[in-house]
Structure 1
Amino acid sequence: MLGPSGTGKSVFLKTLVGLLKPDRGHIHIAGRDITRLREHDLYEVRKLFGVLFQDGALFGSMTLYDNIAFPLREHTNKTEAEIRRIVLEKMEMVGLLGAENKLPGQISGGMRKRAGLARALVLDPQIVLFDEPDSGLDPVRTAYLNQLIVDLNCQTEATFLIVTHDIASARQVPDNIGLLFRRELVMFGPREELLTSDIPVVKQFLNGRMQGPIGMAEEKDATQVEQELAALQYQPPAFEENHLTPRLLPSPGIPRSPRWEAIEQRERALGHLPTVSAAAGGPGRPQNGAERP
Structure 2
Amino acid sequence: MGIEVTVEGLTKSFGRQTVWEDVTLTLPPGEVTVLLGPSGTGKTVFLKSVIGLLKPERGRVLVDGVDMVNSPEREIYRARRLFGLMFQDGALFGSLNLFDNIAFPLREHTRKKEDEIRRIVMERMEMVGLVGSEAKLPGEISGGMRKRAGLARALVLDPQIVLCDEPDSGLDPVRTSYLSQLLIDLNAQIDATMLIVTHNLDIAATVPDNIGMLFRRELVAFGPREDLLRSEQPVVRQFLSGRRAGPIGMSEEKDQELQDQETVPVEEVRPLPAQLQPSPGLPPRRALQRRLEVAR
- TM-score scaled by length of structure 1: 0.85
Alignment partner of 1:49 out of 75, 83, 89: 83
Which among 119, 122, 129 is matched to residue 88 of structure 1?
A: 122
What does residue 32 of structure 2 align with? none
SS class of match (1:161): strand
| Matches for 1:33-44 after TM superposition, within 5 Å | 33-44=67-78
1:248 aligns with 2:276: yes
RMSD: 1.7
Match of 1:175 in 2: 209
Moved over 3 A (4+): 235-238, 257-263
Tell me if structure 1 keeps the 8 A contact 2:188–2:278.
yes
Q: What corresponds to 2:234 in structure 1?
A: 200
Cα deviation 1:40-96 (Å, max 9, x = unaligned): 222111101101111100000001000000000111111111101000000000011
Please tell me whether residue 65 in structure 1 is matched to residue 104 in structure 2. Answer: no
Distance (Å, rounded) in 1 between the aligned partners of 2:60 and 2:286: 32
Q: Residues 204-233 of structure 1: CA distance to partner in whole angstroms, max 9, x if unpaired?
A: 0000011111111213121221332xx22x
Q: Which residue does the alignment assign to 1:227? A: 261
For 2:164 and 2:279, locate their aligned partners in 1 and report how far apart those are by CA, in whole Å: 21
Check conservation: 1:179, 1:187, Cα contact below 8 A. Answer: yes
Question: Which of the numbers 128, 132, 135 marks the counterpart of 2:162?
Answer: 128
**Does residue 1:97 correspond to 2:131, yes or no?**
yes
Q: Secondary structure at the match of 1:35?
A: coil
- Residue of structure 2 equivalent to 1:107: 141
The 2-side partners of 1:14 and 1:34 are apart by: 10
Q: Are 2:179 and 1:145 equivalent residues in the alignment?
A: yes
Q: Which amino acid aligns with 1:190?
A: P
Q: Secondary structure at the match of 2:95?
A: coil
- How far apart in 1 are the matches of 2:250 and 2:62? 34
Residue 226 of structure 2 aligns with an amino acid whose one-letter code is E
Q: Offset at 1:38?
A: 2.3
Query: What is the match of residue 23 of structure 1?
Result: 57
**Larger helix share, 1 or 2:** 1
**Alignment pair present for 1:159 and 2:193:** yes
For the pair shown, the structure with the greater C-alpha radius of gyration is: 1
1:273 corresponds to which residue?
A: none
* Secondary structure, aligned partner of 1:136: coil
Q: 2: distance between equivalents of 1:168 and 1:198? A: 19
User: CA separation of 1:70/1:223 partners in 2, compared to 1, >3 Å: closer, same or farther?
Assistant: same
- Give structure 1 stretches of 5+ with no counterpart: 267-293
Taking the aligned partners of 1:119 and 1:2, their CA distance within structure 2 comes to: 24
Tell me the SS of whatever aligns to 2:280: coil
The change in CA–CA distance for 1:27 and 1:219 in structure 2 (over 3 A counts) is same
In the alignment, the residues of structure 1 paired with residue 267 and residue 41 of structure 2 have an alpha-carbon distance, to the nearest angstrom, of 30
- 1:232-280 superposed Cα distances (whole Å, 9 cap, x missing partner): 2xx3543x65x411111111111225444578x99xxxxxxxxxxxxxx
**Contact 1:54–1:133, Cα closer than 8 Å, also in 2:** yes
Give how far 1:100 is off.
0.6
Q: For 1:247, give the aligned amino acid.
A: Q
How many corresponding residue pairs? 259
* RCO higher in structure (CA 8 A, sep ≥6): 2
Contact kept in structure 2, 1:154 and 1:260, CA below 8 Å: no
CA apart distance, 1:12: 0.2
Q: What does the per-residue CA deviation read over 1:79-124, in whole Å, with 9 as the maximum and x for residues that have no partner?
A: 1111010000000000111111110001000000000000000000
2:246 is aligned with 1:212:
yes
Q: What percentage of aligned pairs have identical amino acids?
A: 64
